[in-house]
């Protein structure tokens, strides 16, 4: 027993824990300021604490079980994820024209968030059991492609372009881990380029096209979408080096920022804490992602490595797309900032991801 | 552990981690650079926008200048009303809407329309004060003032509201204000008008807009993160605009109009649904009265006039929206005859003592033109007194159209008087060339019509009044004057306006005196056309009646056919001056569709002159006998 505790202490990934916890704590503090001005939502930070606590519990469970059990039951996890996605169509709750949520009493769950983890595990299991040393051809991509395509189509049907896109990005990152024949890569690239106009016309909704045009021509549209994106830049830029101080961000307090709690909390942070705060947060995210890659590189088997890379990809794409959007580098899409944005399913997903990382990290000493 | 799968070789991935880490580093580097650009390089730019976002501009309204009559009575002034301005940016929709609705006791409908208007404000104007409620009740004011601190986005501002003490009296001359429209703004933006401003639309309110208006001021303040005013931040705003500009009140103007006289005229017009009157001081050209009936209440037109009410005014057959003193022109009828007489006398075309026989008609070719009655042998004086058409037709043939027009022009007909309000009509004196152009050829009958003010001759009441003033004052045509003086709100005179002479007519005094004597006879000779209307023992009046024929009008669709007779009845005129011996004022009265001038217009004029001049104290000439000029003139 003592040995186990000692083992746990020695094997416990403190840097991962500390950096993830720091992001979560700062996130809650920032949510407090971000929602203080908007009456009805001002207790959101408390709910976020509940979600984080729940997430921490789940993360501990996830970290405690040897991840090879996940490998073994990988298809079950994937299957459960798909069933939940299907349930959305039966029991789903519609908000602003898209159906993404299932409610259990007071509880609202967004299965597409959890599906990201399921995709990572399923891909990890597949790659684990399909070792190849020579380059992969398109034919070898059929099964991983299907693993992505089934849930992604369901998510697109909700419709939830942002989440679908993140899933595709995670998939792409994981597949970059494997060797791909150059020819296959070019074929995929060509297919992507050719499908872009079709996506524009048939897949994107009117408001999504508007957002993209607003992003490309900000001067044409200083109302609505373009206006909010612009005000986000004003918030960040006016923060300067040292920021305006906690609860002192005027852009935040006077509600120039849209969705301060879900999509734009980073703008609130940048306004109130300035360049210093931005550097701190960018540093924390960068550290966690690089650390996750390090965990992957030290993993003892392919499942662990792919899982760690998948979680790293999840964290990377979420943070880069969200911060890029807030800073006006990318169009406005509803992608959350891990552990910083408010949202139960998002918090839960990231915490499971952190638990998986911890798991892989701790299991590197075995055998 | 045998249950679990075997460890798999991870060599396939080995080389990739470094590349991935590099990509991650690069992309985070881009984010970092972007942050530096936004927060250090462009910091000032964004900080300025953020400050502008929380800058509140408080309107400091300017008081519009007051309009007074010649004796200092208030015609147009300002009363404070309380308006509620809302700065949308500072309104918290979750809580403030309820609070405002509660404090102001808004009902459901008012509340939803308030919310709707609030939502419609475009983002770029959300930091400005928007007028949401005007003229709120005393209880609402008290409630909002008490809780002012809780609602930083709500301001109650006392705004001066235009009120017109005389309502509809003199409405056309005084004019009204209303809110600038979007089209106006394109035109007026340079002059600093903004949406919600009121601008003079008609009459003096429009013509003297630049004097009356003043200039609005403003105060810019910053609000802090919690929405309360941050006074210490004021100096930091900087930027292009100064923090404060004091409002400049408009200038007051004093008119030549006499509102007591206007009331007298209003009384004299009782029983006549439609008409107009002008009274002018013959010695100065100062306009004492401009009265057009029916009129509209200026308070109503300056307030929120509904479309249906406006349509009602537009459809009213008595045309209340038309200024009948100077915007509309009429056939002068017999009131024009003195012009023919003057033309004949000055150019010695006709011997005034020579008699013309009036059998009651004049035969011209196959055409028989009728006179009012058979006047027998009449000289010029009798022709004026009894308004004999035959005499003036005969005279007209000798005078000719050109000469008649030359004297007509000299007395100001066919040209604007220059009063400067309500786009006055210029009237019309048809020339030989005009007839040739429009009727193919010239006929002598046109000259005959012109001499008795029919045919195509048209005049406004104001033109006629200025011409009669010139007859009374010995030949001076004045520019009619409406504004006596401009002064600052504290009473300091800034500009004072004296009489402006337009020209002196080229007519010898004795000829004018001859005509004046005739005009005196119109009222005072027992055979005169206005004799029945004279007030015995009252102020002696000289003048001329007129009856202007009206173009026959078919009843409008849907109109009561019994009313058509009214609109086919002639207009009744009286033009003259008083006291006859030492004239002070010239008067023109038109009773639309009144019928005969002597019977319907003259009594109105008599009543006005009697009441007005007997009320004028210290005027020695209120009594007397014959005209002074007439006595000196050779008769």
- Owning domain of residue A82: 13-365
| pLDDT bracket for residue B360 (50, 70, 90) | confident
Rounded CA separation B483/B485 (Å): 6
Please count the CA atoms within 13 angstroms of the CA of B580 that sit on its side-chain side: 28
Chain A segment 13-42 residues within 8 A of B by beta carbon are 37-40
Residues from chain A contacting residue B47 (CB–CB below 8 Å): 237-238, 240
Residues from chain B contacting residue A241 (CB–CB below 8 Å): 39-40, 43
Residue A232 CB burial class (10 angstroms; 0-12, 13-18, ≥19) = buried
| pLDDT bracket for residue B234 (50, 70, 90) | very low
- B519 contact partners, CB below 8 Å, separation of at least 6: B338, B384, B471, B542, B543, B544, B576, B577, B580
In a domain, A94, yes or no: yes
**Contact call for B225 and A302, based on CB within 8 A:** no
Which contiguous run of DSSP H or E holds residue B58? strand B55-60
Interface size A-B, in CB pairs within 8 Å, comes to 170
**Contact call for A270 and B10, based on CB within 8 A:** no
To the nearest whole Å, the CA of A260 is away from the closest chain B CA by: 15
In a domain, A207, yes or no: yes
| pLDDT bracket for residue B7 (50, 70, 90) | low
Rounded CA separation B344/B353 (Å): 12
Chain B residue with Cα closest to A278: B35
At residue B575, the 3 state secondary structure works out as strand
The answer to whether residue B5 scores a pLDDT higher than 70 is no
Which position has the token pair 């690239």?
Answer: A189
What would the pLDDT profile of B73-90 be if each residue is shown by its tens digit?
999 998 888 888 888 877
Look at chain A and report how many structural domains it folds into.
1
pLDDT at B621: 44
The residue-averaged pLDDT of B259-269 equals 93
To the nearest whole Å, the CA of A1 is away from the closest chain B CA by: 20
User: What are the boundaries of each domain within chain B?
Assistant: 259-293+323-632
Rounded CA separation A337/A346 (Å): 9
Distances (CA, A) of B333 to B23, B573, B597: 99, 8, 9
Does residue B433 belong to the interface with chain A, where contact is any CB pair within 8 Å? Answer: no
CB atoms near residue B125 (< 10 Å):
13
pLDDT at B232: 46
In a domain, A109, yes or no: yes
Does residue A307 belong to the interface with chain B, where contact is any CB pair within 8 Å? Answer: no
Which contiguous run of DSSP H or E holds residue B573? strand B571-578
To the nearest whole Å, the CA of A98 is away from the closest chain B CA by: 24
Measured N-to-C along each axis, helices A265-298 and A14-35 cross at an angle, to the nearest 10 degrees, of 170
Out of A38, A179, A254, name the one closest to residue B89 (CB). A254
Q: Torsions phi, psi of B77, nearest 5?
A: -145, -175
Out of A250, A290, A328, name the one closest to residue B50 (CB). A250
Give the percent of chain B with pLDDT over 70: 90
In a domain, A6, yes or no: no
Does residue A267 belong to the interface with chain B, where contact is any CB pair within 8 Å? Answer: no
What would the pLDDT profile of B551-590 be if each residue is shown by its tens digit?
776 666 666 666 777 888 889 999 999 898 899 999 999 9
- B314 contact partners, CB below 8 Å, separation of at least 6: B321
- B155 contact partners, CB below 8 Å, separation of at least 6: B58, B84, B85, B86, B87, B129
In a domain, A210, yes or no: yes
Residues from chain A contacting residue B13 (CB–CB below 8 Å): 177-178, 296-297, 302, 305-306, 309
Rounded CA separation A314/A354 (Å): 11
Residues from chain A contacting residue B55 (CB–CB below 8 Å): none
What is the three-state SS of chain A? CHHHHHHHHHHCCHHHHHHHHHHHHHHHHHHHHHHCCCHHHCCHHHHHHHHHHHHHHHHHHHHHCCHHHHHHCHHHHHHHHHHHHHHHHHHCEEECCEEEEEEECCEEECHHHHHHHHHHHHHHHHHHCCCCCCCECHHHHHHHHHHHHHHHHHHHHCCCHHHHHHHHHHHHHHHHHCCECHHHHHHHHHHHHHHHHHHHHHHCCHHHHHHHHHHHCHHHCCCHHHHHHHHHHHHHHHHCCCCCCCCCCHHHHCCCCCCCCCCCHHHHHHHHHHHHHHHHHHHHHHHHHHHHHHHHHHCCCHHHHHHHHHHHHHHHHHHHHHHHHHCCCCCCCCCCCCCCCCCHHHHHHHHHHHHHHHHHHHHHHCC
Question: Which ipTM value was assigned to this complex?
Answer: 0.93
pLDDT at B235: 45
Cα angle for residues A112, A113, A116 (degrees, 5° grid): 90
Question: Which range, of B32-41, B417-426, B553-562, averages the lowest pLDDT?
Answer: B553-562
Q: What sign has the CA pseudo-torsion B240, B246, B250, B251?
A: negative
Which tokens go with B339? Answer: 């012009």
Rounded CA separation B78/A330 (Å): 56
Does residue B123 belong to the interface with chain A, where contact is any CB pair within 8 Å? Answer: yes
At residue B365, the 3 state secondary structure works out as coil
Residue A344 CB burial class (10 angstroms; 0-12, 13-18, ≥19) = buried
Does residue B8 belong to the interface with chain A, where contact is any CB pair within 8 Å? Answer: yes
Return the higher-pLDDT residue of A208 and B225: A208
Residues from chain A contacting residue B122 (CB–CB below 8 Å): 223
Distances (CA, A) of B180 to A81, B67, B108: 62, 21, 29
Rounded CA separation A120/A117 (Å): 5
**Beta partners for residue B587, in sequence order:** B279, B576
Rounded CA separation B624/B45 (Å): 84
Q: Which of B214, B167, B172, B163 is nearest to B482 (CA)?
A: B172
At residue B471, the 3 state secondary structure works out as helix
Out of B12, B39, B40, name the one closest to residue A133 (CB). B12
**DSSP code, position B39:** I
- B339 contact partners, CB below 8 Å, separation of at least 6: B404, B407, B408, B411, B413, B467
Residues from chain A contacting residue B45 (CB–CB below 8 Å): 237
Residues from chain B contacting residue A223 (CB–CB below 8 Å): 122-123
**Contact call for A240 and B224, based on CB within 8 A:** no
Select B259-293+323-632's CATH number: 2.40.50.140, 2.60.40.10, 3.40.710.10, 3.10.20.30: 3.40.710.10
Please count the CA atoms within 13 angstroms of the CA of B470 that sit on its side-chain side: 31
Does residue A327 belong to the interface with chain B, where contact is any CB pair within 8 Å? Answer: yes
**Contact call for B12 and A309, based on CB within 8 A:** no
Rounded CA separation B17/B3 (Å): 30
Residues from chain A contacting residue B89 (CB–CB below 8 Å): 254
**Beta partners for residue A305, in sequence order:** none
Question: Which range, of B1-10, B330-339, B529-538, B566-575, averages the lowest pLDDT?
Answer: B1-10
Out of A66, A68, A239, name the one closest to residue B39 (CB). A239
The gap between the terminal CA atoms of chain B, to the nearest Å, is: 147
Rounded CA separation B89/B121 (Å): 10
Out of B24, B51, B90, name the one closest to residue A286 (CB). B24
Which tokens go with A131? Answer: 């070792």
The answer to whether residue B238 scores a pLDDT higher than 80 is no
Return the higher-pLDDT residue of B626 and B529: B529
To the nearest whole Å, the CA of A246 is away from the closest chain B CA by: 10
Rounded CA separation B279/B541 (Å): 14
Give the percent of chain B with pLDDT over 90: 40
Does residue A302 belong to the interface with chain B, where contact is any CB pair within 8 Å? Answer: yes
Rounded CA separation B71/A270 (Å): 68
Residues from chain B contacting residue A294 (CB–CB below 8 Å): 17
Contact (CB, 8 A) for B133 and B110 = no
Would you give per-residue pLDDT tens digits along chain A (367 residues)?
Answer: 566 666 666 788 999 999 999 999 999 999 998 887 665 667 889 999 999 999 999 999 999 999 989 999 999 999 999 999 999 888 877 776 778 888 877 778 899 999 999 999 999 999 888 877 677 888 888 899 999 999 999 998 888 888 999 999 999 999 888 888 888 888 888 888 888 888 777 777 777 777 777 666 655 555 556 777 888 899 999 999 999 988 888 888 777 777 777 888 999 999 999 999 999 999 999 999 999 999 999 998 889 999 999 999 999 999 999 999 999 998 888 899 999 999 889 999 999 999 999 999 998 876 5
In a domain, A358, yes or no: yes
Tally of residues, chain A: 367
To the nearest whole Å, the CA of B499 is away from the closest chain A CA by: 58
Out of A40, A286, A329, name the one closest to residue B28 (CB). A286
Chain B segment 20-59 residues within 8 A of A by beta carbon are 20-21, 24-25, 27-28, 30-32, 34-36, 38-40, 42-43, 45-47, 49-51, 53-54
Distances (CA, A) of A261 to A34, A207, B281: 6, 21, 77
User: Residue B376 CA to chain centroid, in angstroms?
Assistant: 48
Residues from chain B contacting residue A250 (CB–CB below 8 Å): 50, 53-54, 224-225
**Beta partners for residue B287, in sequence order:** B280
Rounded CA separation B441/B435 (Å): 7
To the nearest whole Å, the CA of A326 is away from the closest chain B CA by: 10
Contact (CB, 8 A) for A99 and A154 = no
Which tokens go with B232? Answer: 């210490």
CB atoms near residue B593 (< 10 Å):
19
Which tokens go with B609? Answer: 């002159």
Which tokens go with A275? Answer: 């360049």
- B121 contact partners, CB below 8 Å, separation of at least 6: B88, B130
Chain B segment 90-119 residues within 8 A of A by beta carbon are 90, 92, 94-95
Q: What sign has the CA pseudo-torsion B102, B107, B110, B116?
A: positive
In a domain, A320, yes or no: yes
In a domain, A1, yes or no: no
- B368 contact partners, CB below 8 Å, separation of at least 6: B361, B362
Chain A residue with Cα closest to B7: A301
Does residue A279 belong to the interface with chain B, where contact is any CB pair within 8 Å? Answer: yes
- Name the pairing type of β-strands A98-104 and A107-109: antiparallel
Chain B residue with Cα closest to A126: B8
The residue-averaged pLDDT of B120-140 equals 78
Contact (CB, 8 A) for B553 and B571 = no
**DSSP code, position B411:** T
Rounded CA separation B301/A191 (Å): 69
């Amino acid at each position: 027993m003592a040995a186990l505790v000692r083992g746990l202490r020695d094997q416990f990934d403190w840097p991962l824990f500390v950096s993830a916890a720091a992001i979560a704590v700062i996130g809650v503090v920032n949510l407090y300021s971000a929602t203080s001005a908007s009456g009805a939502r001002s207790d959101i930070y408390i709910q976020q604490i509940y979600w984080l606590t729940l997430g921490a519990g789940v993360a501990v469970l996830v970290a405690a079980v040897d991840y090879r059990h996940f490998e073994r039951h990988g298809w079950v996890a994937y299957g459960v994820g798909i069933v939940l996605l299907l349930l959305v169509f039966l029991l789903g709750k519609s908000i602003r024209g898209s159906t993404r949520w299932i409610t259990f009493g007071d509880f609202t769950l967004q299965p597409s968030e959890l599906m990201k983890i399921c995709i990572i595990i399923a891909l990890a299991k597949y790659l684990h059991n399909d070792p190849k040393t020579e380059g992969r051809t398109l034919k070898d991509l059929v099964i991983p492609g299907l693993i992505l395509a089934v849930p992604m189509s369901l998510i697109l049907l909700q419709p939830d372009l942002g989440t679908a896109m993140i899933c595709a990005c995670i998939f792409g990152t994981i597949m970059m881990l494997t060797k791909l024949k150059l020819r296959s890569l070019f074929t995929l690239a060509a297919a992507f380029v050719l499908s872009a106009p079709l996506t524009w016309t048939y897949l994107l909704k009117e408001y999504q096209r508007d957002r993209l045009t607003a992003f490309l021509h900000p001067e044409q549209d200083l109302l609505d979408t373009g206006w909010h994106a612009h005000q986000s830049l004003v918030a960040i830029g006016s923060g300067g080096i040292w920021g305006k101080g906690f609860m002192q961000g005027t852009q935040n307090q006077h509600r120039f920022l849209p969705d301060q709690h879900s999509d734009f909390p980073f703008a609130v942070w940048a306004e109130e804490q300035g360049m210093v705060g931005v550097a701190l947060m960018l540093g924390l995210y960068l550290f966690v992602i690089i650390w996750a890659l390090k965990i992957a590189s030290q993993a003892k088997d392919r499942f662990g490595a792919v899982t760690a890379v998948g979680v790293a990809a999840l964290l990377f794409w979420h943070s880069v797309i969200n911060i890029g959007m807030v800073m006006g580098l990318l169009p406005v899409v509803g992608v959350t900032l891990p552990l910083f944005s408010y949202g139960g399913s998002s918090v839960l997903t990231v915490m499971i991801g952190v638990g998986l990382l911890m798991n892989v990290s701790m299991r590197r000493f075995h055998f | 552990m045998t249950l679990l799968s075997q460890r798999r070789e991870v060599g396939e991935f080995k080389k990739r981690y470094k590349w991935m880490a590099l990509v991650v580093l690069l992309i985070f580097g881009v984010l970092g650079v972007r942050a530096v650009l936004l927060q250090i390089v462009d910091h000032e730019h964004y900080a300025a926008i953020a400050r502008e976002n929380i800058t509140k501009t408080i309107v400091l309204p300017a008081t519009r200048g007051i309009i007074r009559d010649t004796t200092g009575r208030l015609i147009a002034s300002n009363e404070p009303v309380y308006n509620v301005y809302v700065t949308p940016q500072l309104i918290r929709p979750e809580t403030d809407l309820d609070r405002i609705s509660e404090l102001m006791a808004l009902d459901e409908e008012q509340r939803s329309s308030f919310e709707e208007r609030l939502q419609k404000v475009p983002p770029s104007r959300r930091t400005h004060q928007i007028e949401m409620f005007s003229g709120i009740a005393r209880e609402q004011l008290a409630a909002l003032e008490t809780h002012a601190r809780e609602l930083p986005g709500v301001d109650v501002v006392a705004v001066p509201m235009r009120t017109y003490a005389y309502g509809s009296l003199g409405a056309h001359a005084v004019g009204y204000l209303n809110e600038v429209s979007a089209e106006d703004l394109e035109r007026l933006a340079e002059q600093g008008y903004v949406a919600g401003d009121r601008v003079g639309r008609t009459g003096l309110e429009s013509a003297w807009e630049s004097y009356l208006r003043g200039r609005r001021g403003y105060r810019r303040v910053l609000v802090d993160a919690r929405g309360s005013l941050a006074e210490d931040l004021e100096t930091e705003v900087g930027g292009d605009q100064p923090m404060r500009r004091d409002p400049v009140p408009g200038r007051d103007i004093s008119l030549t109009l006499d509102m007591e006289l206007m009331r007298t005229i209003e009384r004299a017009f009782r029983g006549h649904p439609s008409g107009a009157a002008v009274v002018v001081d013959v010695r100065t050209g100062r306009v004492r009265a401009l009265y057009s009936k029916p009129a509209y209440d200026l308070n109503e037109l300056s307030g929120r006039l509904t479309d249906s009410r406006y349509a009602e005014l537009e459809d009213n057959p008595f045309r209340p929206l038309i200024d009948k003193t100077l915007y509309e022109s009429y056939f002068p009828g017999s009131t024009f005859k003195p012009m023919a007489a003057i033309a004949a006398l000055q150019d010695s075309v006709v011997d005034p003592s020579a008699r013309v026989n009036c059998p009651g008609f004049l035969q011209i070719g196959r055409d028989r033109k009728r006179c009012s009655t058979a006047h027998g042998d009449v000289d010029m004086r009798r022709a004026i007194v009894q308004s004999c058409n035959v005499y003036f037709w005969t005279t007209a043939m000798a005078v000719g159209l050109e000469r008649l027009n030359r004297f007509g022009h000299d007395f100001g007909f066919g040209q604007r008087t220059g009063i400067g309000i309500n786009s006055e009509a210029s009237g019309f004196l048809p020339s030989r060339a005009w007839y040739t152009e429009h009727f193919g050829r010239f006929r002598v009958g046109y000259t005959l019509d012109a001499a008795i003010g029919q045919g195509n001759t048209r005049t406004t009441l104001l033109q006629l009044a200025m011409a009669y003033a010139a007859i009374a004052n010995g030949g001076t045509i004045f520019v009619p004057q409406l504004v006596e003086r401009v002064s600052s709100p504290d009473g300091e005179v800034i500009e004072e306006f004296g009489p402006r002479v337009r020209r002196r007519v080229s007519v010898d005094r004795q000829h004018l005196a001859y005509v004046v004597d005739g005009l005196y006879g119109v009222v005072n000779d027992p055979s005169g056309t206005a004799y029945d209307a004279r007030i015995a023992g009252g102020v002696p009046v000289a003048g001329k009646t007129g009856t202007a024929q009206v173009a026959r009008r078919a009843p409008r669709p849907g109109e009561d056919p019994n009313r058509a007779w009214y609109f086919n009845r002639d207009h009744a005129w009286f033009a003259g001056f008083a006291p006859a011996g030492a004239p002070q004022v010239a008067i023109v009265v038109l009773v639309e569709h009144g019928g005969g001038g002597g019977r319907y217009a003259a009594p109105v004029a008599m009543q006005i002159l009697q009441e007005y001049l007997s009320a004028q104290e210290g005027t020695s000439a209120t009594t007397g006998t014959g005209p002074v000029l007439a006595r000196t003139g050779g008769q």
